[in-house]
A and B are shown apart, each in its own frame.
Chain A
Amino acid sequence: MIPSPAKFGETQAVRRRRREERVARAAFGVMALVLVVPLVLIVSHLVAQAFPLLSWDFLTTNPVAGMRKGGVWSALLGTIWLVGVSLAVAAPIGVLTAVYLNEYAGDTWLTRIIHLAVVNLAGVPSIVHALFGLGAFVIFAHLGRSILAASLTLAIMTLPVIIASTKEALASVPNSFREACWNVGATRWQTIRGIVLPNSISGILTGVILQVSRAAGETAPIMFTGAVFYKKIEAGNPFAYGLKDQCMALSMHLYTVTTQVPDVPHALPYAIAVVLLGTTLLVNATSIALRVYLRSRKKW
């Protein structure tokens, strides 16, 4: 802070610097406002426009009348299936791979290459994954356009990020914990199960859950591999889809309704967007709450 001798010595230079200080503060504050306020406004605008359509029925009924009326049940269920199956594949593989890289493998050329592959895969655009999923799962593995093929594509997309975040979580467990455990004669796996995983579970879960919300929001990877414009299923039955079926998905449904269907009611795209947004934000909020809760129980 500038010393402020009130009566004497307040030279012109000091006054100028004070003025600059005020201007700079205001400028940074305005920048924050200019960026953060519109971001919040975008969300509130979507919700406001969607409001007339939002109801419990909107979630639990199927789209009707060429997707111009009705709800989003078949799309919502499709998204849940896609995300669930992709998570069932990506989470175990991702977490165990990270355990290997962090707990077992030394610093060899092989682990360095794996690490390099992981970080580079994490930045690959989803549309590239989409083409790979189409070539590898739909065509080569003869899975056809199906929930399984689309979920595997999503799994490939989320895997590197799960590995990276799990590795960070494992690396944050102090080494002295492991050494203490080894010293009482535990094997590596016993150490991992008893000490390392319980102490890093909050970080691991946060990373995995964040990828759930990312998978739920993606459109491009499922567009060629399993999601369809329209599919009629039984409303209210959560097992109306099978792994070999094609499905609808919220993100795809939103894209279709916006670009392909003429004369949609004004509020419909907004309402679908809000359901999609609600799903991802709910998942994210869960992850953050979990992180806070588990961290509060941390003993170190």
Chain B
Amino acid sequence: MSGSITVAASSPEAARSLGRPRPRSAPWADLACHGLLASLAALVLAVAILILFETARGAAPSISAFGFHFLGSTEWDPVADRYGALPYLYGTIVSSALALTLALPLGIGTAVFLAELAPPRLGEAVAFLVELLAAIPSIVYGIWGVFVLAPWLRSALEPWLVAHLGFLPLFRGFPFGIGMLNAGIVLAVMVSPTIISLSRQILLALPGSLREAALAMGATRAEAIGVMLDAARPGLLGASILGLGRALGETMAVTLVIGNTNRISASLLAPGATMASVIANEFTEATGKLYLSALTEIALVLFALTVIVNALARLLVRGATGARRDIAGAA
């Protein structure tokens, strides 16, 4: 739609008489409108730069005080004013990885069922339900984690895990109910609607001829689904990384259920903390410039991590959907 107009058309009248698709010079009102809109767009860019700048500026004292050691140290001592973010980095990665391990197979399985196997009506209805579930505020999932999931974990699942799988370091220790396992399950529940609806859209976007070709070759439905999944692999990977991006930054629900200690423990039953949860927990109580700065540096690290993860996911989803706008837009 770029202007390939070569004959000058100085007004709408002239344009019409020449039969040109667009007036070359717009009336002043149109120019003013253009200017106004352009400045709004510039404002959005300014906000983005400002967020990055503000966060980096707030983190500067901590960066200059601790350097890269900040990411490798486990010491978090507001009294001695020494800070290291490793436990929080560890907590964020472990809880998100646990969430994906639980949500990914089930989420993609559900998407396959909804897109390929379920009667179209049922598929639509369940997909609608899943979309609504994606809108539930994270704090509500947190409440569920505290009041419903934690007692069940404490009295049923965790003692069972300790008794039967206690030989693994993952399942040792006391069943608190609150801790990494709880956070992982809550996060899995929270990211699965994202994974389901995106995966379903990706599967529906695949050309039907793929399935038909497989069936025509004598494949069973299950084998045809295998072919479809193979073709959808990059897109499904992208969908799951988008889910990962959500899990990494999730704040309130995790703060409620993870237990908030800065110890690194191999056991999933032990409490921990994530980058987002430590900021939410300690920022209001933080006194001292370096303490605030260390928390802001954690925010900066989290910012960078989510930007990288999301960029990766977008690339994969876009590649898989062939830049079809209606689907790639969801990314």
In the complex, are the beta carbons of B34 and A188 less than 8 A apart? yes
A-contacting 9-mer, from B77-85, B138-146, B158-166: B138-146
Inter-chain contacts of A96 with B (CB < 8 A): 36-37, 40
- For the complex, what is the distance from the CA of A113 to the CA of B55, rounded to whole Å? 20
How many residues belonging to B are interface residues under a CB distance threshold of 8 Å?
102
Is A150 on the interface with B (CB-CB < 8 A)?
Answer: no
For B33, give the chain A residue with the smallest CB separation.
A189
CA distance A164 to B329 in the complex (A): 8
A131 near B256 with CB under 8 A, answer no
A179, B21: Cα distance in complex, Å: 6
Expressed in whole angstroms, the minimum distance between the Cβ of A187 and any Cβ of chain B is 4
Determine if B7 is an interface residue (Cβ-Cβ < 8 Å). Answer: no
CA gap between A277 and B130 in the complex, in Å: 15
Q: Is the CB of B140 within 8 A of A120?
A: no
Q: How far is the CA of A273 from the CA of B136 in the complex (A)?
A: 10
Would A125 and B248 count as touching, CB distance under 8 A? yes
**Contacts of A254 on B, CB cut-off 8 Å?**
139-140, 143
**Bound-state Cα–Cα, A216 to B30, Å:** 36
User: Which of B139, B148, B251 has most chain A Cβ within 10 Å?
Assistant: B139
In angstroms, Cα B279 to Cα A151, docked, is 20
A266 CB to closest chain B CB, in angstroms? 9
Please tell me if the beta carbons of B307 and A124 are within 8 angstroms of each other in the complex.
Answer: yes
Q: A32-B126, A97-B41, A121-B48 are in contact. Are A277 and B136 (CB under 8 A)?
A: yes
Residues of chain A lying within 8 A (CB to CB) of residue B326: 168, 172
- Chain B: residues with CB nearer than 8 A to chain A? 1-2, 12-13, 15-16, 19, 21-23, 26-27, 29-30, 33-34, 36-38, 40-45, 47-51, 54-55, 58, 103, 105-107, 109-110, 112-114, 116-118, 126, 128-133, 135-144, 146-148, 189, 192-193, 196, 215, 218, 220-223, 225, 245, 248-252, 256, 276, 279-280, 283-284, 295-296, 299, 302-303, 306-307, 309-311, 314, 325-326, 329
11 contacts between A and B (CB under 8 A): A20-B220, A24-B222, A36-B130, A42-B141, A46-B143, A100-B38, A125-B248, A128-B299, A184-B16, A187-B30, A210-B135
Which residues of A line the B interface, CB within 8 A? 1-2, 17-18, 20-21, 23-25, 27-29, 31-32, 34-36, 38-40, 42-43, 45-46, 49, 93, 96-97, 99-101, 104-106, 111, 113-114, 117-132, 135-136, 156, 159-160, 163-165, 168, 171-172, 175, 178-179, 182-189, 210, 213-214, 216-220, 223-224, 251, 254-255, 258-259, 269-270, 273, 276-277, 280-281, 284-285, 288
For the complex of A and B, 10 pairs with smallest distance between CB atoms: A125-B249, A217-B137, A31-B109, A24-B222, A100-B37, A117-B48, A123-B310, A185-B12, A168-B329, A32-B113
